[in-house]
Amino acid sequence: MKILSWNVRGLWNPRIIRRLRHVLKLQNPQVVYLMETKICKSQIERRHIDVIIEEVEEGNRTESWNLLRRLGEFKEFSWMVCGDFNEILYGFEKKGGLPREEGRMEAFHKVLEDCNLVDVGYTGNWFTWEWGNLPGTNIQERLNRGVATEEWLSLFPNFQLQHLTHTFLDHCPLLISTKKKKKREKERRSRSFKFEAWWVMEESFLNAVKNIWENSTGDLLSKLECTIRGLERWAGQIKYNRKEKSGQVNGS
């Protein structure tokens, strides 16, 4: 299945409609989720499901994060959330403009942790939103992303999330494919690797990469494969240790 998620910032513009038709024809998704269409109900056709969320006050994410927490209470479901979160997780996910406040990023971290959601990675350009054409005013951020529970990732181990090109629009489309094209098994395993941004924030990250690389053998591709698997084990151990620590704190 293919799912397209896109903040189109208004479907009243014929240029945007032409671009949307082009993307739909090129990617042929089975599910399409459009944000900020800025059109009234009378202009919407009946061949789809509409979700209307009350507008949240600009700069106030508390209500949105609390809604996410309430949805996360349904533990029996495997869950993926994707789209425009209008927030970043790390300072390096923004280029240009004023630095993001630490408190805002920490609040985003906390709600994902509370909901057991992790960043699922991506292919394509790093930034998903851009504003300003001149070098002195240009700002780029990774506002759009996909996050999911470990249960969802287990159900769709071969999924892929792509950042598609966005040309004249400020937000890029996200394309989620739950099944990759079949190619050689070794290539498939390599491409299924998802580098998570939080890894570089861990104090042990650089030493882990160095030790794994130095202890791997074979040609370049073999050493890269060993590094990938080693980092996955390293990250899994960190997650396990955190859960153990959290359980001890809650049980005390």
Read off the tokens for 137. Answer: 């005013």
Q: Among all chains, which residue has been given the structure tokens 């996050």?
A: 147
42, 45, 48, 50 alpha-carbon torsion, rounded to 10°: -10
Rg (CA), the chain: 20
Domain range list for the chain: 2-182, 202-252
The model's pLDDT over 241-252, given as tens digits with 9 standing for 90+, comes to 887 777 666 665
Determine which helix (DSSP H) or strand (DSSP E) holds 69, and give its type and residue range: helix 62-71
The model's pLDDT over 5-38, given as tens digits with 9 standing for 90+, comes to 999 877 777 888 888 899 999 999 999 988 888 7
Strand, helix or coil for residue 81: strand
Give the span between the Cα atoms of 240 and 250, in whole angstroms.
15
Strand, helix or coil for residue 150: helix
The model's pLDDT over 170-229, given as tens digits with 9 standing for 90+, comes to 899 999 998 754 544 444 444 567 788 888 888 899 988 988 888 887 778 778 888 888
Mean pLDDT, to the nearest integer, of 36-51?
A: 62
Using the predicted structure, report yes or no on whether residue 50 has a pLDDT greater than 80.
no
- Residues of the chain with pLDDT > 70: what percent? 84
Lowest mean pLDDT among 2-6, 78-82, 98-102, 237-241: 237-241
Using the predicted structure, report yes or no on whether residue 107 has a pLDDT greater than 90.
yes
Q: Provide the total of helices (H) and of strands (E) in the chain, helices listed first.
A: 7, 11
CATH of domain 2-182: 3.60.10.10
Give the span between the Cα atoms of 34 and 7, in whole angstroms.
6
